[in-house]
Amino acid sequence: MPAASIISVLDDDPYVRAAINNLLESRGYVVHTFASAEEFLSSAHSSRTSCVVADVQMPSKTGIDLLTQMRAQGSATPFILITAFPDEGVRMRALKAGATCFLGKPFVAADLMQCLEQALAAGKTSTE
């Protein structure tokens, strides 16, 4: 049996973190949650995560900033970016930076799961 994928969830809203954590754990994923990009980057999980689900609007470092930084450091970790303020300009910036998916909050659980499956499949392809 393959090891469960490790998903890192970054959102400054504790209720959003808890909701995504509960959803993903109920589907068998190992989940680590973080209140900020800095907290994630200073953890041991930043280099061992299978996928990052990150809020676009976070204090200090946005989800897009984090994605850009990780790509500049050579990381191919798939990213799903979520935001309560979706607009076409932000969506285009997120996708151009390399996000696999971009979801507006609130989103349907099935949409997140579809994005996650897509991201994990893309992540496996990039590491083979």
- What is the tally of structural domains in the chain? 1
pTM above 0.75, yes or no: yes
128 occurs within a structural domain: no
Asked if residue 82 lies in contact with residue 107, where contact means CB atoms within 8 angstroms, the answer is yes
Q: Which amino acid is at 116?
A: L
Question: Hey, what amino acid is at 40?
Answer: F
Q: Is residue 45 part of a domain?
A: yes
Question: Over the Cα atoms of the chain, what is R_g?
Answer: 13
Q: Which two tokens stand for residue 80?
A: 């799903």
Domain contains 23: yes
d(CA 66, CA 63): 5
Q: Is residue 28 part of a domain?
A: yes
The token pair at 94 is: 């997120």
Report yes or no on 112 lying in a domain: yes
In a domain, 65, yes or no: yes
1 part of a folded domain: no
Whether 15 is covered by a domain: the verdict is yes
Cα–Cα nearest to 94, from 49, 40, 54, 35: 54
Mean pLDDT of the chain: 92
pLDDT in tens, 61-104: 999 999 999 999 999 999 999 999 989 999 999 999 999 999 99
Range of the domain at 60: 6-123
Provide the pLDDT confidence category of residue 45 given band limits of 50, 70 and 90: confident
CATH of the domain at 13: 3.40.50.2300
